[in-house]
Amino acid sequence: DAGITQSPRYKITETGRQVTLMCHQTWSHSYMFWYRQDLGHGLRLIYYSAAADITDKGEVPDGYVVSRSKTENFPLTLESATRSQTSVYFCASSDLAGGQETQYFGPGTRLLVL
């Protein structure tokens, strides 16, 4: 089906391990985003990408790495997971620049770091 998907939907890992969260969209949207959702904070932007091979930091980028070799994929890697990275992670995509575009969100990945 067309849309935006995330995998895995649930992940449990241990402190210090590397974890990669996957995001895939079928709309060929140019922009993609990674957010984390924590109680009391709403959604906070981690990284975003304006196009393939173009990425930029958001509000809370520390401890995360992204890449975008293809337009449709935007993986998020936690190189050495910490307990503070326990959260729900949402990927989103949108088409045009300039702020007018609507962002479309994936279903989320619930990550627990022990």
Partner 1 sequence: AQSVAQPEDQVNVAEGNPLTVKCTYSVSGNPYLFWYVQYPNRGLQFLLKYITGDNLVKGSYGFEAEFNKSQTSFHLKKPSALVSDSALYFCAVRDLGNNDMRFGAGTRLTVKP
90 scored as a contact of partner 1 (CB under 8 A): yes
22 scored as a contact of partner 1 (CB under 8 A): no
- Report how far apart, in Å, the C-alpha atoms of 58 and of each of 14, 62, 103 are: 25, 10, 15
3-state SS class at 83: helix
Which of 58, 63 has the CB closer to partner 1?
58
3-state SS class at 56: strand
Residues within window 92-111 making contact with partner 1, judged by CB under 8 A: 92, 97-100, 102-108
2 scored as a contact of partner 1 (CB under 8 A): no
- Residue span binding partner 1 (CB under 8 A) among the ranges 18-26, 37-45, 65-73, 76-84: 37-45
Residues within window 53-82 making contact with partner 1, judged by CB under 8 A: 56, 58-59
Q: Which residues make beta-bridge pairs with 109?
A: 89
Q: How far is the CB of 15 from partner 1 (least distance, A)?
A: 26
End-to-end CA distance of the chain: 34
Query: CA 100, CA 111: separation in Å to the nearest integer?
Result: 31
Angle at alpha carbon of residue 21, lines to 90 and 30, rounded to 5°: 60
What are the φ and ψ backbone dihedral angles of 77, each rounded to 5 degrees? -115, 130
Can you tell me which of 43, 52, 60, 112 binds partner 1, judged by CB under 8 A? 43
Q: Which residues bind partner 1 (CB under 8 A)?
A: 31, 33, 35, 40-45, 48, 50, 56, 58-59, 90, 92, 97-100, 102-108
